[in-house]
Amino acid sequence: MFGFLKKTPTDNTAEPAVADQRDLPASEKRGWLSRLKSGLSRTGSQLTDLFSRGGKIDDDLYEELETILITADVGMDATRFLLAELHHQVREHRYTEAGQLKEALAQCLLKLLKPLAQALDTGTHQPFVIMLAGVNGAGKTTSIGKLAKYFQGQGKSVLLAAGDTFRAAAREQLMEWGARNNVTVIAQQSGDPAAVIYDAVQAAVARKIDVVLADTAGRLSTQAHLMEEIKKVKRVIAKALPDAPHEVLLVLDANTGQNALSQVKAFDAALGVTGLVLTKLDGTAKGGVIAAIARAHPIPVRFIGVGEGLDDLRPFAAEDFVAALLGLGE
């Protein structure tokens, strides 16, 4: 039935379980924070430069800060919110120096972003079915490979469903990720993406797999017929397993800036998005879009990515993100 079916490993040689960033070994966490800081440097460099110059807190400083936030794609609504919060902090604590504004901004950003930092719990169902969606080039297939590695690190068995039947290279790429992670990939040479994922879910039930990661073809939210197709995929998954998918992850490319917010709204309206994966933070000056999402259309950010390595996709921790963005703890 399946165009590709790799034997599921039975020796369970996965790494010890890692619940979230706080449970990482100290050396590994330092390495991740270093990569995160480096990845966010293009977004945060203007902010750190502004606060390191010194001087008094005045209207010119606020105006410059506003420009930097908007340039970083924080968005007008979130920018106004942050500036209002800053004014309140400055009055309350009687700050006068520009350097003091850095810590105040950190507190304001943390207040905005912390509600989005909700860890994904895959222990509620077996199999736990995760459907991934997004526009072309957002990094869905690559993210699936990294997520497979992450869940294996938690001691879970994983199965991949090659539901992107439109792009042949996506199937080949997913097979390669499956081989690298030593996990099963279920695919067909062609055919209906909903049927492929249906077969994958049934196989996962039979094999008692812990996590199913279902890829789907990239599509623009403005392509009505393709958005109807992905709605069908979700309905078919529910037929294969009641209550599934248990998580609908939208993969976003941080480089798209405010367009990412438009994608969140459109895909959420179509699918009921339950979590976000923000990729390519290491190559963008627009990482502030996470604040725009938090303010305008808050959905939990499950994972963020700052590189191409298998370990470069990690759970979103608001404290780490803010510290890396503003260069705190140096």
HSE (CB half, 13 Å, CA atoms) of 290?
A: 37
Residue pair 306/35 in contact (Cβ under 8 Å)? The answer is: yes
Please write the tens of the pLDDT for every residue from 300-329.
999 999 888 788 899 999 999 999 888 886
pLDDT greater than 70 at residue 8: no
Q: Which helix (H) or strand (E) holds 305?
A: strand 301-305
Classify domain 1-10+30-330 by CATH architecture: 3-Layer(aba) Sandwich (3.40)
Domain boundaries defined on the chain:
1-10+30-330
pLDDT tens digits, 31-58: 788 888 888 888 888 888 888 887 899 9
Residue type at 212 in one-letter notation: V
**Structure pTM?**
0.88
* Per-residue confidence (pLDDT) for residue 24, from 0 to 100: 57
**pLDDT confidence of residue 4:** 31
Mean pLDDT of the chain: 86
**Taking 70 as the threshold, does the pLDDT of residue 22 lie above it?**
no
Separation of CA 57 from chain center:
35
Given a cut of 90, is residue 209 above it in pLDDT?
yes
Ranges 49-58, 127-136, 145-154: which has the least confidence: 49-58
| For range 281-301, the mean pLDDT | 90
Pairing label, strands 184-187, 158-161 = parallel
Our CA angle for 95, 100, 105, nearest 5°, is 105
Q: How wide is the angle at C-alpha 159 spanned by C-alphas 153 and 160, nearest 5°?
A: 110
Q: CB pairs under 8 A, 24+ apart, for 77-84? A: 77/292, 77/295, 77/296, 78/112, 78/288, 78/291, 78/292, 78/294, 78/295, 78/296, 81/112, 81/295, 82/108, 82/109, 82/112, 82/291
Lowest mean pLDDT among 2-16, 52-66, 73-87, 166-180: 2-16
pLDDT higher for 291 or 220? 291
CB 217 within 8 A of CB 39: no
> Is the pLDDT assigned to residue 237 strictly greater than 50?
yes
Q: Which two tokens stand for residue 302?
A: 């499950």
